[in-house]
Chains A and B, each alone.
Chain A
Amino acid sequence: MPLILTEEQMMLRDAADGFLNEQAPISHLRKLRDEGDPDGVSRDLWRAFGEMGFAGVIIPEAMGGMGLGAVEAGVIAESLGRTLTPSPFMGSSVLSAKVLIDGGSEAQQAWLPRIAAGEAILALAVDEGAKHAPSRIATQAERAGNGFRLNGAKGFVLDGHVADALIVVARAEEGVTLFLVDPATAGVTVERTAMVDAHNAARITLSDVAVDADAVIGDVGQGGALLDGALTLGRACAASTLTGAGDQAFKITMDYLRTRKQFGKLIGEFQALQHRAAHLFSELELARAATLGAQLAIDEGRENASLAASIAKAKAGRVAELAVQEAVQMHGGVGMTDEFDVSLFMKRVRVLNELLGDAGFHAERLARAQGF
């Protein structure tokens, strides 16, 4: 497949951009933040998102979704990066939906139509320490009665505080196992964390949480492959959101260079700034290509898809970081103010960089894969 969007994918992009610019521009994020909204996310918006078909982009048509692929999920994720909209899309429609599509029982898959409709919010609880390290899961799943008893602590759980159900990654005797857990179960404690970017995540403690055997997603000890599939898709989508955020910060900055005067000149006339802008443009082109490349690799089922997603996440992360740094610097004092949007992009990119592994994490994966 060529590394450009098809006509249908461009239409989807226009629809997502149109919807978000109208229903949830950056002022939507500001409102939730400034009013101290208890959820930090709008259920009404999530339902409207579902009505547009976006929430079920990868969910099969038979379960109320659009039955599309990683490229289309990336298109929507990129739009969310441009508008900085707090949305359960990543946690529910990408990470959780992918796990349930690939490994859910019939009963578990009953969540999928509800995710697609924007009625349900699900969360994947994988991270435990300060850094993403899915190969070092410490949360324990011990056999107890006809089920399991879960013990452990999770952090950085996207939308964990508003989730209707949790997908918990734990280690059973047989290996990594995924559990679908009702957050109302005794022993589950959820603490919402207010993060730097005013998006949502939670810390979750699991203390002797008793679950039935049918809470297991897929097979006991076989959760690793399910998790990998979800993380690969999630990383590729996070790369899209980073690219969207970085590109939007870049666009705002270019507009500024064309209008702001200092020393009697438009600052965009200064070659020192032109060269940095041109370099950043080049980097954004690479981030875009790497991101689309990863999504096509996923959709074509290529063996290197997981590595391609790492390359995309690392590249898009570094580039978006550069884009927001240049945005603040080139705007000067105004770039440091809360009122001006570029500061919000800087915060959001920092969070997205940590999400599902930062550039260092993914560079390490690449070095391993190349055997050095």
Chain B
Amino acid sequence: MSDLEPFRAETRAWLADNCPTECRGPMADDEMIWGGRNPTFKTPAHKLWLERMGARGWTAPEWPKEYGGGGLSREEAKVLASELRRIEAQPALASFGVWMLGPALLAFGTEEQKQRFLPEIVRGEVRWCQGYSEPGAGSDLAAIQTRAEDTSDSGGDHWIVNGQKIWTSYADKADWIFCLVRTDPEAPKHLGISFVLFDMTTPGVTTRPITLISGKSPFCETFFDDVRVEKANLVGTLNRGWDVAKYLLAHERTMIGAMGEVGGGRPVGQVALDAIGADDDGRLDEPMLRARIAELEIDAAAFRLAMERVGDQVKAKQAHPAIASMLKYYGSELNKRRHELLMAAGGADALEWEGERSHDGKTARDWLRTKANSIEGGTSEVQLNIIAKHLLQLPGA
């Protein structure tokens, strides 16, 4: 551990000099910096913060330096994360490119693709969205129908893509999409899929936002009508896009699972104390709720350790690939529980939907948003199926 201390000191000093004061403290979801070709920044300081972090590769701290990443070891990245937490630094960049596409490109991309796409992801210059789900292919993702065809007018170096995607987060704001398409309709459904990248400004791409029960949502429907996609933008092997998708889903699942951890904001017990008050003994003056919160916090603490343990197992090459399903399942159910309790803790105040006092009903909208956690990225039931089949080897699963 002690050999990390110089790195910690250096990191702390750099952050002290480079993290603007405006970029410290709590940040609302709709203030996140997503970058892209037409970026919006809450303040000029946020722009500077992204530029500085991007230049250092610290928006993707563990990626290799040659692709713009930070080149840090896992231990160094943990130190960086803890130093960022220490000063309550806001994330310099929110990015599906960093969270999802980048890891897949590092594992499956050609050298040219890595050189081209990864550095601009690190610097937040291009914003990506994910084209997986379709109206007929949700949990049964391998059933996708969007077609990429090699037609006579494609000139041999392009496909012509037709079809529809759904639940495409921020499709209306994204610059590029990473997308699953069917390239061999005759093959068994897992074996005819390819993973491709294309620009959202390509003619034939349209998007339409979807309103959810939370009233606000980043989700869109996305339509492809004779969209020309360069074959050079195929990631991995033709018709073996399922391998890329599965790899990426494991990342996504871990990330959604981790929301139980990061999505909490203030501890539920404190929120409840503010709203309800304490008895003469300093205990939350609502014993049944207090007990439920305590049980949640025990599970949350155990879950944090389980995530850390899986990380350590991955590093020691002791992890089963399907363990991501456990984290996704448990983390999303836990996050739903947390938000149910936040609603109970807030009482009538948490029911407000509009107005400045409630930040336009943030508590209620966040609560409703979490209901999707156990649906998106593969439902809880799908995760349980995967655990039963791959980790428990139960028959017929």
Contact = CB atoms under 8 A, between A and B. Distances in A.
A binds B: yes
Given A286-B299, A371-B269, A2 B283 contact: no
B384 A258 contact: no
Interface in B83-108: none
B270 A367 contact: no
Contacts of A315: 298-299, 301-302
Contacts of B387: 278, 281-282
6 contacts: A2-B312, A269-B395, A275-B384, A315-B301, A363-B294, A370-B267
Interface stretch (B33-41, B111-119, B194-202, B313-321): B313-321
Given A286-B299, A363-B295, A367-B294, A258 B394 contact: yes
Interface stretch (A198-206, A289-297, A321-329, A342-350): A289-297
Contact of A281 (B267, B290, B302, B392): B392
Contacts of B306: 285-286, 288-290
A254 B389 CA distance: 12
B397 A274 contact: yes
Contacts of B392: 254, 274, 277-278, 281
Given A285-B306, A315-B299, A268 B395 contact: yes
Contact of A3 (B291, B297, B308, B385): B308
Given A372-B272, A372-B273, A278 B384 contact: yes
A314 B298 contact: yes
B364 interface: no
B330 A258 contact: no
Nearest to A283: B330
A97 to B, nearest CB: 27
B309 A372 contact: no
B137 interface: no
Contacts of B316: 2, 4
A258 B299 contact: no
B156 interface: no
Interface in B273-324: 273, 278, 282-284, 290-291, 293-295, 297-299, 301-303, 305-306, 308-309, 312-313, 315-316, 318, 323
A73 interface: no
A277 B302 contact: no
Scoring A3, A254, A273, A285 by chain B CB atoms within 10 A of each residue's CB, the highest score goes to A285
Contacts of A3: 305, 308-309, 312
A159 to B, nearest CB: 30
Contact of A293 (B270, B305, B393, B396): B305
A248 to B, nearest CB: 15
B132 interface: no
Nearest to B323: A285
A287 B326 CA distance: 13
A366 B384 contact: no
From DSSP, what is the main secondary structure of chain A's interface residues? helix
A277 B394 contact: yes
Contacts of A281: 326, 387, 391-392
B309 A4 contact: yes
B395 A266 contact: yes
A291 B284 CA distance: 28
Nearest to A285: B306
B59 to A, nearest CB: 26
A282 B394 contact: no
Interface in A1-56: 2-4
A141 interface: no
A266 B298 CA distance: 36
Contacts of A364: 294
A154 interface: no
A6 B326 CA distance: 24
A286 B302 contact: yes
Contact of B283 (A268, A289, A360, A372): A372
Given A274-B394, A315-B299, A367-B269, A372 B305 contact: no
Contacts of B308: 3, 289, 293
B140 to A, nearest CB: 15
A293 B303 CA distance: 11
Given A315-B302, A366-B297, A367-B283, A292 B309 contact: yes
Contact of B388 (A277, A289, A370): A277
Nearest to A315: B302
Nearest to B393: A258
A358 B301 CA distance: 17
Interface string A248-286: 000000100110000001101101011101110110011
A311 interface: yes
A127 B298 CA distance: 24
Interface string A91-133: 0000000000000000000000000000000000000000000
B66 interface: no
Contacts of B383: 278
B290 A286 contact: no
A362 interface: yes
A271 B392 CA distance: 13
Contacts of A293: 305, 308-309
Contacts of A2: 312, 315-316
Nearest to A274: B388
Contact of B291 (A258, A269, A278, A363): A363
Contact of B290 (A257, A258, A279, A372): A372
A61 to B, nearest CB: 25
B305 A278 contact: no
Contacts of B360: none
B329 interface: yes
Contacts of A257: 394-395
Given A274-B385, A367-B293, A289 B394 contact: no
Closest 10 CB pairs of A and B: A372-B269, A269-B396, A278-B387, A2-B312, A274-B388, A3-B309, A363-B294, A289-B305, A290-B302, A289-B306
B345 to A, nearest CB: 10
Contacts of B302: 286-287, 289-290, 311-312, 315
Contact of B326 (A268, A274, A282, A366): A282
A268 B298 contact: no
A282 B330 CA distance: 7
Interface in B22-38: none
Scoring B270, B290, B309, B318 by chain A CB atoms within 10 A of each residue's CB, the highest score goes to B309
A348 to B, nearest CB: 22
Given A278-B391, A281-B391, 4 more contacts: A278-B329, A286-B299, A311-B301, A315-B298
